[in-house]
Amino acid sequence: MKNYKMAWRNLWRNKRRTLITVASIFFAVFFALLMRSLQLGSYRHMFNNVIESYTGYIQIQSEDFWDEKTVDNVFEYSSELEDIILKDKNTNSVVPRFESFALASVGSLTKGVLVMGIDPEKENIFSDVKGKLVRYRLTDEAIVNIKNSELPDNIKSKLDLFEGMSYTSDKSLQADLGIKEKEAGEIMEPFVKYASFNNGYIEKSVPGVLLGDKLSRYLKLNIGDTIVLISQGYHATTAAAKFPVTGIVKLPSPDIDNMIVYLPYDICQEFYNAPGMLTSLAISVNKNDDKDIDVMISRLGEELDYPLRVVGWREMNQLLINQMDADNKSGMIMIGILYLVIAFGIFGTVLMMAAERKREFGVVVAIGMQKSKLAVIVVIEMIYIGLMGILSGIAIALPAIIIGLYNPIRFSGEMAKMYEDYGMEPIMPFMPVDIYFLWQSVVVAIIVMIAIIYPVNKIFKLNTVESLKA
Type and span of the H or E element at 378: helix 371-406
Handedness of CA 83, 89, 93, 98 (dihedral sign): negative
Same domain, residue pair 285 and 244: yes
- By three-state DSSP, how is residue 84 classified? helix
Cβ atoms of 283 and 136 within 8 Å: the answer is no
* Pair 239, 252 in one domain: yes
Q: What element of type H or E holds 428?
A: strand 427-428
> Are 128 and 42 in a shared domain?
no
DSSP H helical ranges for 103-251: 120-127, 140-147, 153-159, 170-177, 184-194, 213-218
Does residue 387 sit within a domain? yes
- Residue 140 buriedness (CB in 10 A; 0-12 / 13-18 / 19+): exposed
Same domain, 381 and 456: yes
Same domain, 243 and 355: no
CB-based burial of residue 49 (10 Å sphere; 0-12 exposed, 13-18 middle, 19+ buried)? Answer: middle
Residue 264 burial by Cβ neighbours in a 10 Å radius (0-12, 13-18, 19+): buried
Q: Are strands 75-76 and 277-278 parallel, antiparallel or unpaired?
A: antiparallel
**Phi and psi at residue 279, in whole multiples of 5°?**
-95, -25
Dihedral sign for Cα 118, 121, 125, 130, please. Answer: positive
Give phi and psi for 249, each to the nearest 5.
-115, 150
68 closest CA partner among 307, 251, 286, 424: 307
Q: Is residue 230 part of a domain?
A: yes
Same domain, yes or no, for 73 and 46?
Answer: no
User: Domain of 113?
Assistant: 56-134+197-316
Residue 101 lies in a domain: yes
Q: Within a domain: residue 178?
A: no
pLDDT of residue 116: 94
Same domain, 46 and 62: no
> How much is the pLDDT for 102?
95
- The residues, ordered by sequence, that sit 6+ positions from 256 with a Cβ below 8 Å of its Cβ are 114, 212
Question: In terms of domains, do 201 and 297 share one?
Answer: yes
User: Could you give the CA distance from residue 467 to residue 365 in angstroms, rounded to a whole number?
Assistant: 10
Per-residue H/E/C for 247-288: EEECCCCHHHHCCEEEEEHHHHHHHCCCCCEECEEEEEECCC
Number of alpha helices (DSSP H) and beta strands (DSSP E) in the chain: 19, 15
CA 174 to chain centre: 24
Whether residue 285 sits in one domain with residue 220: yes
pLDDT of residue 263: 95
Closest CA to 219 of 257, 266, 185, 163: 257
Last residue of a domain, one of 261, 281, 316: 316
Name the burial class of residue 57, with classes exposed (0-12), middle (13-18) and buried (19+) by CB atoms within 10 angstroms of its CB.
buried
Question: What DSSP assignment string belongs to 213-258?
Answer: HHHHHHTT--TT-EEEEEEE-GGG-EEEEEEEEEEEE--SSHHHHT
Write down the pLDDT at residue 46.
76
Torsion angles phi and psi, residue 196, rounded to 5: -60, 140
Contact 276, 74 (CB under 8 A): no
**Is the residue at 93 inside a domain?**
yes
Cα first-last separation, the chain = 27
| Same domain? 24 vs 70 | no
Instruction: Return the pLDDT at 229.
Output: 96
| Number of domains comprising the chain | 2
Indicate if 101 and 249 belong to the same structural domain: yes
Q: pLDDT tens digits, the chain, 470 residues: what are they?
A: 577 787 888 778 778 878 888 887 888 888 888 888 888 888 778 777 777 767 788 999 998 888 888 888 999 988 888 889 999 899 888 999 999 999 999 988 999 999 999 999 999 888 889 988 999 999 888 888 888 888 888 888 888 888 888 888 888 888 778 787 777 777 888 898 899 988 999 999 999 999 999 999 999 999 999 999 999 999 889 999 999 999 999 987 778 889 999 999 999 999 999 999 999 999 988 888 888 888 999 999 888 888 899 998 888 887 777 877 777 777 778 778 878 877 887 788 778 777 777 787 778 778 877 888 878 888 888 888 888 988 898 899 989 888 888 888 777 666 766 666 666 667 788 888 877 778 878 888 888 888 888 888 887 877 777 777 65
* Cβ–Cβ under 8 Å, residues 136 and 196: yes
Q: Is residue 171 part of a domain?
A: no
378 plus 445 within the same structural domain: yes
| 175 is a domain residue | no
CB neighbour burial string for 184-213, b if at least 16 within 10 angstroms, e if fewer: eeebbebbeebbebebebbeeeebbbbbbb
